[in-house]
Structure 1
Amino acid sequence: MDHTNHVDGCQRAWHHIDVARFLFVVLPVVSHLSAPLAIAQALEDAGHEVAWCGPRSDLRPLIGPDATLHPTGKRWYRPDGESGMASVRSLWEGHVLPANRFIRDAADRAVADCRPDVVVADQYALAGALAAYRHGVPWATVCVGTLELTPPTDGMPGFAGFVRAQLDRVWAMADLPVDEHLDLRFSPYLTIGLTGPALTGPAPLPPRCVLTGPALGRRPHAPAFDWDAWDPGRRHLLVTVGTMAEHLAGDFYRRMIAATAPLADRLQVILTAGPQLVPDPPAHVLVAPRVPVLELMPRLDALVSHGGLGTVSEALAHGVPVVVAPIRHDHPTVARQVARAGAGVEVSFRSATPAELTVALTAVLDDPTYRANARRVGDSFAAAGGAATAAAHLAELAAAPPGRPGTHRPLSNAHGGTSLT
């Protein structure tokens, strides 16, 4: 573990009194960084100031050498293959609570030292919310997934009670009495959900919540891609299980390669995996540990995903239909939402046979209904506004006069997004 806590560049004075100051507090999960980065870019493009609190090794390549950074060090998390409530317990007990205990002091110092107008905290970076609460600073929550935003109504008995007990432990960890009126997962000022009603449907949402769709922005240091190997004469499929489940995906990848073999004359597969997982890929499969996802999306005909909201929503934003093979946490919820929207199909990550996977792939590739519905969802995301709308809500919160939590009212729908007041 890297326990470095000193500030990189925080002594730089904030300038322009009409410029708002934002402090982003994030956890060391790579898949959770793209959306906050895009929102921060939109804020900076609008002339505001942004500082960061999080792991230097993950953030510095993204935010550049001159950005203000309060390093937290990095605590690694390697989730297992559990599902249902077992995966929720693992998430909170194995990641959320230890990670927030690990960054607690750094987050508190960051808020005290940089005096932001607004703290912007990843939903699971509860230490950021608590530091803002302690110092009387408004904060916004960014929900990069759906597990807490649209919690499961079946298949996870005891979910609400378990999470409430964990939140009580977070208050105790911060040496603060529990505020019974405050759910730390959702800011009483502003909660930003990176999805939209085309996916969430009628699910109830927290107060002060705005749905902006995915936040897409510039991605420094995106990996290179072997475009010379790209076959323009075939259709293209991206297969990925994200950054935290590759160690679980060996058998799934083998079944997926077998499933695409009957389609090899017309389909090229781009599979994100280390070479040790797919040491001898067939000719129709390109294997790379990382790919420039946003560069690939406009060229894809379909996506196979584990159900991470980020990758799925990025595909739908580009009108790309999805086969979802959920693993844990909110993945089953995302799979159901995609299927309900008619923008893709769900398969079993653990047990779908190659033949079943071939049927699912053929459906999303050949039935135009799936692509039409994916485009419909993508159009709704575009209307919601993404990173620009999220930044506008944050700027409005920063400009609001001091007041009790909940006095901020999100922008009207004319500015994009869906607000609940």
Structure 2
Amino acid sequence: MSRFLFVVPPLAGHVNPVSAVAAELAGREHEVAWAGQPAALEGLVAADTPVFPCAGAPGIDDMPRDLRGTAALKCQWDDFFAPLAYAMAPGVTAAVLEFGPDLLVVDQQTVAGALVAERLGVPYVTSSTTSAELSGSPVDTPQFDQWIADLLDGLRLRLGDPSARYDPRFSPRLTLVFSTTELTGPQAPDRGPVCFVGPALGQAPDARIEAADFPWGWVDRDDGRALVLVSLDTGDTTVGAHFLAQCVDGVRARSHVLRAVVVDPDGVLGPPRDDDNLLICPAVPQLALLARTDAVVCHAGHSTVTEALWHGVPLVVAPVRGDQPVVAAQVTAAGAGVRVRFGRTDAKAVGSALDVVLGQPRFAAAARRVSHSFREAGGAPTAAAHLEELAIADQENPRQGLQI
């Protein structure tokens, strides 16, 4: 039996995939614990699993929403991921010393885990829950690459082993990528050992809403119309009010051929209208709903994209910031969807994009091809098997004590 410590940020999309892996490891009688913010982990991880508390940083939703490209990425690291590393490092250190893990499983953008692991001499594996980092910089400029390298070097001087020379976002032992090359395309060089395991959805809790509380009768009506899910990232629904309204108008204009479930957690669309082809809800059981869906409109968040493609559902993507432009580019390159411009899209553009995705079979065929690759990759059981092998290998070649 081995001991695994998962180090994660307060972001559900980064927790859900590894929570499925943690559940798989626990089912194999390994000991599992978490280092993170307890409030952010509640409902996402098993209730009886130890959680070692870590301090947080300013919420990612508090960052300016009008930034794009390089400015947005720099802000994301300057104002969220770097402060999060400094805040979490003491808690991660305490967790390692108290729990005594054989292996850490560290979120790729929660670099406190990687740096504390290298400082203490404990092996770690990277969890790449979004493949954007693997694809290289979304802005792909030498200046930005040097900027992020300098930032990570500064974090390493304070938190890690200053003599280390590898990128802490990629473990020298292994990086688990919760996608496949059918979606990501060829991997960028110099990332170290990488294993594509596909999405880990099987045991991850869907905490958005209980499926039993959802109006399945409306969804399951067999009236010959295609069913669309419109779901923006929760943190983006307020800034995305205009876009969401355009999606609604685009669907209304196609009431003879389309129905849509629209997720509106913040109520930005106002009081619901009596529309035969629209169901507006604050939350949905997304995984269960996707099994009944013909297309998805979203911001190209990695979780929603992989969940849709797992079910072979093509997409209309409207990226805003962060990793979304990279994921959107992956979707279009794979032929599994079309992209519209978030800030300049109107009802006609959204409706036309849905017409294309639903009217041309090649998009659904591409989505099914990616779905097949996801299922063949193995998901949580495959990821757990790799972690088991590495933990056993390190137990057979034990480290020479912790170096603080």
Specify the SS of the correspondent of 2:70.
helix
Could you tell me how far 1:186 is from its partner in structure 2? 0.5
Could you tell me how far 1:321 is from its partner in structure 2? 0.3
Matched, 1:204 2:195: no
Which moved further from structure 2: 350-359 or 86-95? 350-359
From 219, 222, 225, the equivalent of 1:230 is: 219
Specify the SS of the correspondent of 2:227.
strand
From 25, 37, 50, the equivalent of 2:32 is: 50
Q: Relative to 1, partners in 2 of residues 1:53 and 1:368: Cα closer, same or farther, differing over 3 Å?
A: same
Matched, 1:95 2:84: no
Q: Relative to 1, partners in 2 of residues 1:350 and 1:200: Cα closer, same or farther, differing over 3 Å?
A: same
Q: Relative to 1, partners in 2 of residues 1:161 and 1:404: Cα closer, same or farther, differing over 3 Å?
A: farther
Matched, 1:240 2:252: no
Matched, 1:81 2:70: no
Using the alignment, how far apart are the partners of 2:168 and 2:3 within structure 1?
22
- Asked if the contact 1:85/1:157 (under 8 Å) is kept, the reply is no
Q: Relative to 1, partners in 2 of residues 1:97 and 1:309: Cα closer, same or farther, differing over 3 Å?
A: same
Normalised TM-score (structure 1): 0.87
Deviations 1:393-417 (A, max 9, x none): 1111101146699xxxxxxxxxxxx
Which moved further from structure 2: 268-277 or 295-304? 268-277
Using the alignment, how far apart are the partners of 2:334 and 2:76 within structure 1?
28
Aligned to 1:9: none
1:21-420 equivalences under 5 Å are: 21-75=3-57, 76-78=59-61, 79=63, 80-152=65-137, 156=141, 158-174=143-159, 176-205=160-189, 206-218=191-203, 219=205, 221-224=207-210, 225-232=214-221, 233=223, 234-282=225-273, 283=275, 284-401=277-394
Q: Relative to 1, partners in 2 of residues 1:275 and 1:64: Cα closer, same or farther, differing over 3 Å?
A: same
Could you tell me how far 1:276 is from its partner in structure 2? 2.7
User: What RMSD over aligned residues (CA atoms) do the two structures have, in Å?
Assistant: 1.9
Q: Relative to 1, partners in 2 of residues 1:48 and 1:115: Cα closer, same or farther, differing over 3 Å?
A: same
Could you tell me how far 1:62 is from its partner in structure 2? 2.7
Using the alignment, how far apart are the partners of 2:398 and 2:47 within structure 1?
36
Deviations 1:84-120 (A, max 9, x none): 1011011101110111111110001001110101000
Aligned to 1:11: none
Q: 5+ residue gaps in structure 1?
A: 1-18, 406-421
- Asked if the contact 2:206/2:285 (under 8 Å) is kept, the reply is no
Using the alignment, how far apart are the partners of 2:39 and 2:32 within structure 1?
18
Normalised TM-score (structure 2): 0.90
Using the alignment, how far apart are the partners of 2:147 and 2:56 within structure 1?
26
Using the alignment, how far apart are the partners of 1:316 and 1:220 within structure 2?
17
Deviations 1:243-287 (A, max 9, x none): 322221101011111111221233221122225301134412222
Equivalent position amino acid for 1:101 in 2: Y
Could you tell me how far 1:61 is from its partner in structure 2? 2.2
Equivalent position amino acid for 1:34 in 2: N
- Asked if the contact 1:84/1:156 (under 8 Å) is kept, the reply is no
- Asked if the contact 1:321/1:364 (under 8 Å) is kept, the reply is yes
- Asked if the contact 2:238/2:266 (under 8 Å) is kept, the reply is no
Q: Relative to 1, partners in 2 of residues 1:145 and 1:345: Cα closer, same or farther, differing over 3 Å?
A: same
Specify the SS of the correspondent of 1:162.
helix
Using the alignment, how far apart are the partners of 1:156 and 1:346 within structure 2?
23
Deviations 1:202-258 (A, max 9, x none): 232511111111111331644132324325223211112213222211010111111
Equivalent position amino acid for 2:107 in 1: D
Q: Relative to 1, partners in 2 of residues 1:57 and 1:256: Cα closer, same or farther, differing over 3 Å?
A: same
Aligned to 2:402: none
Which moved further from structure 2: 270-279 or 388-397? 270-279
Q: Relative to 1, partners in 2 of residues 1:221 and 1:352: Cα closer, same or farther, differing over 3 Å?
A: closer
Q: Relative to 1, partners in 2 of residues 1:379 and 1:196: Cα closer, same or farther, differing over 3 Å?
A: same
Which moved further from structure 2: 155-164 or 209-218? 155-164
Q: Relative to 1, partners in 2 of residues 1:404 and 1:367: Cα closer, same or farther, differing over 3 Å?
A: farther
Deviations 1:292-348 (A, max 9, x none): 111111111001111111110111111000111111122112111111111111111
Which moved further from structure 2: 164-173 or 99-108? 164-173
Identity of aligned residues (%): 36
- Asked if the contact 2:107/2:126 (under 8 Å) is kept, the reply is yes
Using the alignment, how far apart are the partners of 2:96 and 2:209 within structure 1?
33
Which moved further from structure 2: 243-252 or 114-123? 243-252
Using the alignment, how far apart are the partners of 1:239 and 1:62 within structure 2?
23
Specify the SS of the correspondent of 1:22.
strand
- Asked if the contact 1:37/1:217 (under 8 Å) is kept, the reply is no
Equivalent position amino acid for 2:155 in 1: V
Which moved further from structure 2: 263-272 or 346-355? 263-272
Using the alignment, how far apart are the partners of 2:16 and 2:382 within structure 1?
16
- Asked if the contact 2:299/2:320 (under 8 Å) is kept, the reply is yes
